[in-house]
Copies of this chain bind each other. A is one copy, B any other.
Amino acid sequence: MATVSLIEYEDADPTVRQVYDDIMTTREVDWVNNFWKVLAVQPELLRRTWEGVKEVMAPGVLDPLTKEMIYLAVSVTNGCEYCINSHTAGARKKGMTDEMLSELMAVVGMANQTNALADGFQVEVDEAFR
């Protein structure tokens, strides 16, 4: 259960509604997920976070699906339940199949393993990598 009250659309002030509207328009959905309803406790936090996410996740030199998968890889490494669920759903919507998810997880698992080994033995960075 969230540690603050969720702000529903009908109870939201104009600033918050404007962000909610933009979220629904940008994502082509007719509802707002809990994450934003929680941030609305402080409208500036909501607005700033949404604008950041919108800019960062827009198509660029990396395509939106690749970005979603990178987002998911970070969320898994941090063990964030909400984020793993929402970004798995987000990536599937953008075309991620079970096979792609499995390959992604295989890379994430392997990276977590070798990160531990490199730190664990205190391996020095090769000159060629700098």
Q: Tell me whether chain A's interface is mostly helix, strand or loop, or mixed.
A: helix
**B residues in contact with A81, CB < 8 Å:** 122, 125
Task: Check A52 against B48 for contact (C-beta < 8 Å).
Answer: yes
Task: Tell me, yes or no, whether A107 is within 8 Å of chain B by CB.
Answer: yes
Let me know if B75 and A73 touch, CB within 8 A.
no
Chain B binder among A9-17, A20-28, A58-66? A58-66
Mark A30-61 against chain B: 1 for CB-CB distance below 8 A, else 0: 01011100110110110011001101110011
Evaluate contact between A52 and B52: CB separation under 8 angstroms: yes
Given contacts A33-B126, A112-B112, contact A121 B80 (CB under 8 A): no
The reply to whether A109 and B103 contact each other, CB–CB distance below 8 Å, is no
